A and B are shown apart, each in its own frame.
Chain A
Amino acid sequence: MNRLLSTGLAAAIALALGACGEPEKAKPTLELPNKDPFPSTYQANAAGTLLIKGANLLIGNGEQAEATDLVVKDGKIVAVGEGLQVPDGATIVDGKGKWVTPGLIDVHSHMGVYPAPGTANHADGNEMTSPVTAQVWAEHSVWPEDPQFEKALAGGVTTVQILPGSGNLIGGRGVTLKNVPATTVQAMKFPGAPYSLKMACGENPKRFYGGKGQLPSTRMGNMAGYRSAWIEAAGYKKSWDDYIKKVEAGEEADAPTRDLRLETLVGVLEGDIRIHNHCYKVDEMAQMIDMAKEFGYKIAAFHHAIEGYKAAPMLAKEGICAVMWADWWGFKQEAFDMVRENIALVDYAKACAVIHSDDPIQVQRLNQEVAKAMSAGNRLGLGLTAGDAIKWATLNPAKSLGLEDQIGSLEAGKNADIVLWDANPMSVYAHAEKVWIDGVLRFDRNDASVAPTSDFNLGILEAGEVRP
């Protein structure tokens, strides 16, 4: 309908122009689907200038610096160094004896789509009505008032990737959010962040659909299911490519009928949408990698990579991040081969190691999960520092999201997503004291008014009771 209208309008304009001069044949116009129909409306308040003085910095890229200053201006980090000048009008925060990290990033969260309280009316994370539901977008399920968001913020988490669940082979689009209070999901969306697509290997899809007597009921059924979808997507892509070619050659052509499901898959084939693949086991990862080559797309990350340590050389070679827990295991056969040194070993093999929570309790203390993984590596003699380890929750996850040029480290030019900790964040006793996103103070442990609680909590809890 839109397409007809606008083609008609273009023809009318061409006619009108033609009336004044040489009659000219209307050039067909290209009608492509809008790639950003739900644009971000996120806006940072005026951030001003901030100087954090003399804190211990864990930079996020593996480095660390003692008693160092950090200057933020207009939402960006502008300088990191010792004894920096106090900029005019700067808010000064004394960081002496305290620690600073980049805002933590959780690339596997279901906050908003499986909010608290966990009731059926809001369980919107898993569209388990068909094994391939690439047409669904997690952002359309996010309930921004989920009281879990503010708890994660109090733990220093500034960026979250919200993913659909893992019941389906291809579960739908994920979305990257800034962890700010908002009434709409658009106001949380990280401007310009690439979309992701959630895929799932292994036990979950085959258990659920096998139980209903439909494909997939086996791992070979899983593979057949993904490959059929990619074949369909390749055909759909060709129909659009043909249409574009014709129009560009000046031929009349009707745009293909849009298919939301295949549109997302084509986004992957064209490199716009990043694959975040729930995949525990090394053998299945190898098959997913071959399949990606078969259809010509890239995998950004394997999530829940319990066997990351077995896959590490392959992941390093292919440039795929392994997204892992510190110590979860045993809830499924595919989670049986846990080793506590998993993250440290993936890092040791020079692959991209990432921590994730997948859990509303652990997202609040990702630093502790990092610390446990670091400690396990050090028990093995890997000599990891806090600076080494924090990158599993900062720069590496930023890479997996395609946002490493904007977030994930305390470097000049990056977004001022910053956490001030009252102790070494590798300690169970450490608290996030202040959290800034784009230079705006969003949480202050000593000032509840900075972070008003979710609407949901109003009238249920007293002001003093909703503190983290």
Chain B
Amino acid sequence: MNLFSKTFVKPFATALGLVLAASVSAESVLIKGADVYTAQKLLPATDVFVNNGRIEALGSNLTYKADRTIDGRGKSITAGLFNSETQLGVVEVAAIEQTVDSMTTRTDITAAFKVADAFNPNSTLLPHNRAHGLTHALVMPRAATGLFAGQVALVQLGNTPRVVHESVAVAVDFSEHGVELAGGSRASALALLRQAFADVQDYSANKAAALAGDRRTYSISLMDAEALVPVLKGEQPLIVKVQRAADIRAILKLAKAYKLKLILSGVEEGWMVAADIASAKVPVIIDPINNLPSGYESLGSRLDNVVMLHKAGITLMFTGMSWHNTHSAYLVRQSAGNAVANGLDKHVAIAAMTANPARIFNAPVAGDVIQGGPADLVLWSGDPLEVTSEPELVMAAGKVAPMVTRATMLRDRYFERLSAK
């Protein structure tokens, strides 16, 4: 018992994952007659054959011999879910600071703050989210001392969770929270951003001298300047969290002036400036369930925000649901369902948590159900966005994912006790 409780949380979970992964790695699966949601369209009542970790065939009346054949009638298949803003692998219990690696109090490690270095593949959150259909996520650092939160990682929740890309973007927090950390005024925050960018340009052009201490004092540390070089060269995206319409415009203007590759996140008042966002060809990371004036920056928050953003031609990437975007990051599906309930096209909603982020962040999957593609998919017991649909089969990184998690073990232990009464 003692041994069990001591070793349970991490090593045991890992051992279990490895054993199951080894035993199922070569498993071939034939799913018959499920509704397949590709990134573009619905393929009704379609057979899917998965072999050697890839989708070998898609069609009707497939007759492959498989290790496992599943009746998919009345069920649906989507690509594995992708949540575009989480702290997966860098937070275990939010109120236990020793388990929280998503932020730092150091003022000299901001843009250089790389959450990927802290990623814990043994986190209990990963099997829980994977078993509910989440196969990829962005791990977003959080700003604690200033505007720059750090470098965003792309992780894959396969049976052996891993960091796919250590740094896919640098994150800036220009919400009321970030502005508060930057002198308490949007004007001071913008001044600090411009100064930081000017410093990076100077550093970039005079690197040797800067490292030798022969340039002026910069407003950010040398390692932060180094981390921002690819952003200022327009090679790496800058993800800016911003809510208020006027602030969105200010950030768009800034990005244009410095020729940045911009991605916006939050954007609760985005619908008010949708044309501006669209003409700048800037994609957005958004939780479509938000509809409250939670702060003065989001007085215009509304449920059909995403409908208007989509209509304007803006590429959507979803996060959510609400603040459960880490421990229950798989609930991005509920946010997507609510978007559809309030007017968004279903395929657009599904793409916003599969194909769109996969493409923009260069994931190892297409976020789509396509012949020849890697087996990264979920078989849902019903409609793919319905809250009463359960994942019946999850394939992540080409392998069947175990559905046993810490939560199901607890459930089974107590259900047995309750049933015995």
Q: Are these two chains actual partners, yes or no? A: yes
B338 within 8 A of A: yes
Given the interface pairs A117-B296, A329-B328, A371-B388, the reply to whether A428 lies near B94 with Cβ below 8 Å is no
Q: Which chain B residues lie closer than 8 Å to A431 at the CB level?
A: 341
- B93 touches A (CB below 8 Å): yes
Q: Does any Cβ of A come within 8 Å of B81's Cβ?
A: no
- Contact flags (1/0) for B326-348 with A, using CB distance below 8 Å? 11100100100110110000000
* A372-B387, A427-B386, A428-B385 given; A359·B95 CB < 8 A: no
The complex places the Cα of A378 from the Cα of B381 at a distance, in Å, of 12
Q: Is A116 an interface residue (CB 8 A)?
A: yes
Q: Does A345 contact B (CB under 8 A)?
A: yes
List the B residue with the shortest CB-CB distance to A374: B388
Give the complex CA separation of A309 and B407 in angstroms. 12
Verify A428–B418 contact, CB threshold 8 A.
Answer: no
Please measure, in the bound complex, the distance between the C-alpha atom of A310 and the C-alpha atom of B416, giving whole angstroms. 11
> Closest approach, in angstroms, between the C-beta of A309 and any C-beta of chain B?
5
Asked if A349 lies at the interface with its beta carbon under 8 angstroms from chain B, I say: yes
Chain B residue nearest in CB terms to A349: B418
Please indicate the chain A residues that have their CB under 8 angstroms from the CB of B321 in the complex. Answer: 361
Most buried by A among B295, B338, B415: B415
Q: How far is the CB of B334 from chain A (nearest CB, A)?
A: 7
Q: Report if B289 contacts A (CB, 8 A).
A: yes
Q: Would you call A345 and B292 a contact (CB within 8 A)?
A: no
B299 adjacent to chain A (CB < 8 Å): yes
Q: Please report which residues of chain B, range 86-101, place their CB below 8 angstroms from some CB of chain A when the two chains form the complex.
A: 91-96
Alpha-carbon distance between A374 and B321 when the two chains are bound, in angstroms? 19
Chain A residues with CB under 8 A of B303: 468
Contact A428 B387 (CB under 8 A): yes
Contacts of A372 in B (CB 8 A): 334, 387-388
Q: Is residue B25 contacting chain A, with contact meaning CB distance below 8 A?
A: no
Which B residues from 330 to 389 make CB contacts under 8 A with A? 331, 334, 337-338, 340-341, 385-389
Give CA–CA (A359, B389) in the complex, Å: 24
Using CB atoms, name the residue of chain A closest to B296: A117
Chain A residues with CB under 8 A of B411: 309, 339-341, 345, 380
Q: How far is the CB of A378 from chain B (nearest CB, A)?
A: 8
Interface residues of A in 363-395 (CB under 8 A from B): 364-365, 368, 371-372, 374-376, 378-380
Q: A280–B292 Cα gap in the complex (Å)? A: 28
- Is A375 a contact of B387 with CB atoms below 8 Å? yes
Task: Check B324 for interface membership: any CB of A closer than 8 A.
Answer: yes
Alpha-carbon distance between A53 and B324 when the two chains are bound, in angstroms: 40
Q: Is B294 an interface residue (CB 8 A)?
A: yes
Query: For the complex, is A328 an interface residue (Cβ under 8 Å from B)?
Result: yes
**Given A117-B299, A428-B334, A429-B340, does the pair A312, B418 have CB atoms closer than 8 Å?**
yes
Would you call B390 and A379 a contact (CB within 8 A)? yes
- B407 interface neighbour in A147, A339, A374, A375, Cβ under 8 Å: A339
Chain A residues whose C-beta falls within 8 Å of the C-beta of B291 in the assembled complex: 151, 361, 364, 468
Q: Are B388 and A345 in contact (CB under 8 A)?
A: no
In the assembled complex, B410 has its CB within 8 A of some CB on chain A: yes
Assess A116 versus B388: contact at CB under 8 Å? Given A330-B92, A331-B93, A429-B340. Answer: no
Smallest CB separation, A104 vs chain B (Å)? 15
A338: contacting residue among B331, B385, B407, B418, CB under 8 A: B407
Contact B295 A329 (CB under 8 A): no
Q: In the complex, A432→B287 CA distance in Å?
A: 22
Residue A461 contacts which of B94, B95, B294, B300 (CB distance < 8 angstroms)? B300
- Identity of the chain B residue whose Cβ is nearest the Cβ of A365 in the assembled complex: B338
Count class of interface residues, chain B: 35 or more
Q: Does A402 contact B (CB under 8 A)?
A: no
Distance to closest chain A CB from B324 (angstroms): 7
- Asked whether, in the complex, the Cβ of B94 is within 8 Å of the Cβ of A330, the reply is yes
Q: Does A34 contact B (CB under 8 A)?
A: no
The answer for the CA separation of A380 and B92 in the assembled complex, in Å, is 26
Does the CB pair B96–A333 fall under 8 Å? yes
Interface pair A330/B292, CB less than 8 Å apart: no
Assess whether B290 is interfacial by the CB under 8 Å rule.
yes
Say if the beta carbon of B293 comes within 8 Å of chain A. Answer: yes
B106 contacts the other chain (CB 8 A): no
Q: Is there contact, CB below 8 Å, between B302 and A467?
A: yes
A327-B324, A375-B390 known; A332 and B93 CB under 8 Å?
yes
User: Could you say which residues of chain A place their CB within 8 Å of the CB of B415?
Assistant: 309, 341, 345, 380
Do A116 and B293 form a contact, CB below 8 Å, given A349-B418, A431-B341? yes
**B322 contacts A by Cβ under 8 Å:** yes
Specify which chain A residues have a CB less than 8 angstroms from the CB of B331 in the assembled complex: 327
User: For B91, B290, B291, B303, which residue has the most chain A Cβ atoms within 10 angstroms?
Assistant: B291
Instruction: Tell me if A203 counts as interface (CB < 8 A to partner B).
Output: yes
Taking CB atoms, residues of chain B closer than 8 Å to A203 are: 95
Q: Does B414 lie at the interface of the complex (its beta carbon under 8 Å from any beta carbon of A)?
A: yes
Residues of A within 8 A of B341 (CB): 428-431
Which B residues between 49 and 92 are near A, CB-CB below 8 angstroms? 91-92
Q: Are A330 and B93 in contact (CB under 8 A)?
A: yes
B252 close to A (CB within 8 Å): no
Which A126-178 residues have a C-beta within 8 angstroms of B? 147-148, 151
B23-35, CB under 8 A of A: which get 1 and which 0? 0000000000000
In the bound complex, CA of A303 to CA of B371 (Å)? 49
* Most chain A CB within a 10 A radius of its CB, from B290, B292, B385, B388: B388
Q: Give the distance to chain B from A465, nearest Cβ to Cβ, in Å.
A: 6
CB distance from B104 to the nearest CB of A (A): 20
Do A117 and B293 touch across chains, with their CB atoms under 8 A apart? Answer: yes
Asked whether any CB of chain B lies closer than 8 Å to the CB of A191, the reply is: no
Q: Which residues of B contact A309 (CB under 8 A)?
A: 410-411, 414-415, 418
Residue B125 lies at the interface, judged by CB distance under 8 Å to chain A: yes
Interface check A426, CB cutoff 8 A: yes
Q: Is A362 an interface residue (CB 8 A)?
A: yes
Tell yes or no: A295 within 8 A of B by CB.
Answer: no
Interface flags for A233-264 (1: CB within 8 Å of B; 0: not) read 00000000000000000000000000000000
Q: Which of A372, A431, A456 counts the most chain B CB atoms within 10 A?
A: A372
Q: Which residues of B contact A374 (CB under 8 A)?
A: 388
Is A21 located at the chain interface by the 8 A CB criterion? no
Which residue in chain B gives the minimum CB-CB distance to A375? B388
Per-residue 0/1 for B379-407: is the Cβ within 8 Å of any A Cβ (1 yes, 0 no)? 00000011111100000000000000001
Task: Answer whether residue A42 sits at the interface, using C-beta atoms and an 8 A cutoff.
Answer: no
Q: Which residues of A contact B92 (CB under 8 A)?
A: 330
Whether A345 lies near B414 (C-beta < 8 A) is yes
Q: In the complex the two chains form, is A368's CB within 8 Å of B334's CB? A: yes
22 A-B interface contacts by CB (under 8 A):
A116-B292, A117-B298, A119-B296, A309-B411, A327-B328, A328-B328, A330-B125, A331-B93, A336-B93, A339-B407, A345-B415, A349-B418, A365-B338, A368-B338, A368-B387, A371-B388, A375-B388, A378-B388, A380-B411, A428-B340, A429-B386, A465-B302
- 19 further A-B contacts with Cβ under 8 Å, apart from A332-B93, A332-B96, are A117-B294, A117-B296, A117-B299, A309-B410, A309-B414, A312-B418, A313-B418, A338-B407, A341-B411, A361-B291, A365-B338, A371-B388, A372-B387, A372-B388, A426-B387, A426-B388, A428-B341, A428-B387, A460-B300
Pairs A-B, 8 closest by C-beta atoms: A428-B337, A330-B327, A339-B411, A375-B388, A332-B95, A331-B94, A361-B322, A371-B387
